[in-house]
Amino acid sequence: MQPLLPTDSTAYSQWAGAESDNVIIQTMASNDLIFVVLGVTLIIWFTLLFSLYRLDRKLTRLENSR
């Protein structure tokens, strides 16, 4: 009986449709570039959340002043 979800890396390469994608992922993982991508993504998310928080505070103050 085969598992419902394959757990090996061939499942991703079959889904992506090319073996070159697998090489890129292996290169990024081996050179720790995946952590750079993760770091940049987290910085973007925290910046967006912080901006939304500040906008909400400003709107609340504006609504209360009227």
Per the structure block, which two tokens stand in for 65?
């002043």
Note whether 1 and 12 are same-domain residues: yes
Is it the case that residue 32 has pLDDT exceeding 90? no
The DSSP 8-state label assigned to residue 4 in this structure reads: S
CB 21 within 8 A of CB 12: yes
Structural domain including 47 reads 32-66
Give the pLDDT confidence score for residue 27 in this predicted structure: 75
**Cβ–Cβ under 8 Å, residues 24 and 13:** no
The answer, as to whether pTM is greater than 0.75, is: no
Helix, strand, coil tally for the chain in percent (to 5): 80, 0, 20
Domains: count for the chain: 2
Q: 18 and 41 in one domain? A: no
Quick one: 36 and 7 in the same domain? Answer: no
